[in-house]
Amino acid sequence: MDSYTAPESTPRQSASSRVKDYFIGATPLQKRLESARKLTSFVPTPSRRKIPQCSQLQEDAELQKVAFLLHKQWSLYSLTPLYKFSYTNLKEYSKLLSAFIAAEKQKGLAVEVGEDFNIKVIFSALLGMKGTQRDPEAFLVQILSKSQLPSENGEGKVLWTGWFCCIFGDSLLETVSEDFTCLPLFLANGAETNTAIIGTWFQKTFDCYFSPLAISAFNLSWMAAMWTACKMDRYMATTEFLWSVPCSPQSLDISYAIHPEDAKALWDSVHKTPGEVTQEEVDLFMDCLYSHFYRHFKIHLSATRLVRVSTSVASAHTDGKIKILCHKYLVGVLAYLTELAIFQIE
C-alpha cells in the first residue's frame, strides 16, 4: 500500500534547516539548547585528544603550593555554575561557612565523639590552576581545627580540603552568562559528613548543584592510554589495572600489573600521530593487553568491567576517586576530568 512508504527526504530536510537557524546570532541560552540538542543526536565523541603537556610549574615556590594536592585521594564531583560568586568576598565566605558548619554541628547532625568544635574555615585562591586565560581561578576551601592551646601559633590540623577548578572549560564558558562563575570540577578529601555540609551551604548560597562524578570503563581506558603516553623521567609506581568480573554469587576482581617501562614500550609501538591520542590507538592498546592476558589465562578481559587504573602519573577508580602522583601532569589530568564534569553537567 502506498500509505506505508513514507517519503524519506522531507523529514530530514526540515530538521536540518531548523537546526541551522540556531547558529546565527545565538544567545547563550540558545547555544545551550543547541549543545543539548547536539548531544542527543549522532555526534561522535572526540576521537582524538591531546596528550597532557608537561606543565610550566617549574619554580619551587609554585611546586610547594601544589604539593599538598598530590598523593591524596580526592572524591570527584561535578558542579553547575555558581551564581554571583565573587573572588573578593572570600573572607566573608569563610566566616559564613564557619558559622554554618558550627550551627550544623550543634544541631547534632554530625556529632562525633571527642571532636573539636572549634573549627576554622579558610577560603583561598589557587593561582595557576587553569588551562587558558579564560578559565576562572581555582579556589580552595579548608577546614582546620583551631588549636586549643594559646601558645601554639600554628594553623591547626587540616580536617577537610576541597577545591574547585576549571581547566580548558571553553565549551561551558561560552554558554554561560556573566553572573555565573564556571568551576565544574570539585575535588574533596576528608570526612563525608563535612563534604555534605559544605555542599549544602554552596548549593544554598550560590544556587548550584553537586553530583558525584563517576568514571566509566570507557573513560578509564582513555586515561590509561593518555597517562601511559606521558613522558616520565622515572617511574614511581607500576602500571596496574583492576577489572571486576560480573559473576554471581560473588564478584571476582582481576588485577593486572605491568612494569611501567613495558607499558610505555607497548604504547610507543601503537602510537602513530605525535602529540595526540586517537580512539583507535586506545582500543589497540587495550586489545593488546586483553589478548596477552587471554593467551596466558584463557580469560576474556574484554567481557569484564575496568574498575581501576593506576599509573605513575595518576590513579583513578570508577567510583570517582582520583589520586595524582606527578606534579608535571597535574593540569593535564585535571583537563580530562573537567571535560568529564562538563559532559555530566550538560
Pick 225 or 286: Cβ nearer other proteins: 286
Residue at grid coordinates 561551558: 172
Whether residue 249 is preceded by a cis peptide bond, meaning omega within 30 degrees of 0, is yes
Q: Which stretch binds other proteins (CB under 8 A): 35-43, 61-69, 133-141, 177-185?
A: 35-43
Write the DSSP assignment of 149-198 as a string of letters: -TT--S---EEEEEEEEBSS-HHHHTTS-TTEE---EEEEES-HHHHHHH
Does 304 interact with other proteins (rule: CB under 8 A)?
Answer: yes
Q: Which stretch binds other proteins (CB under 8 A): 62-70, 232-240, 248-256, 299-307?
A: 299-307
Residue 5 as a binder of other proteins (CB under 8 A): the answer is yes
Q: Is 43 helix (H, G, I), strand (E, B) or coil?
A: coil
| Nearer of residues 6 and 113 to other proteins, judged by Cβ | 6
- 44 lies in the site for other proteins, by CB under 8 A: yes
Nearest CB to other proteins, comparing residues 96 and 217 = 217
Minimum distance from residue 243 beta carbon to other proteins (Å)? 10
Contact 226, 277 (CB under 8 A): yes
Whether 158 contacts 142, CB under 8 Å: yes
Residues that bind other proteins (rule: CB under 8 A) add up to a total of: 31
Which of 150, 246, 249, 274 contacts other proteins by CB under 8 A? 246
Listed as own residue / partner, the contacts of 59-67 with beta carbons closer than 8 Å and 24 or more positions apart are 62/128, 63/327, 65/126, 65/127, 65/128, 66/126, 66/128, 66/129, 66/327, 66/330, 67/327
Nearest distance in Å: CB 100, other proteins:
32
By CB under 8 A, name the binding residues for other proteins.
Answer: 1, 4-8, 11-12, 15-16, 41-45, 214-218, 221, 246, 286, 290, 300, 302-306, 318
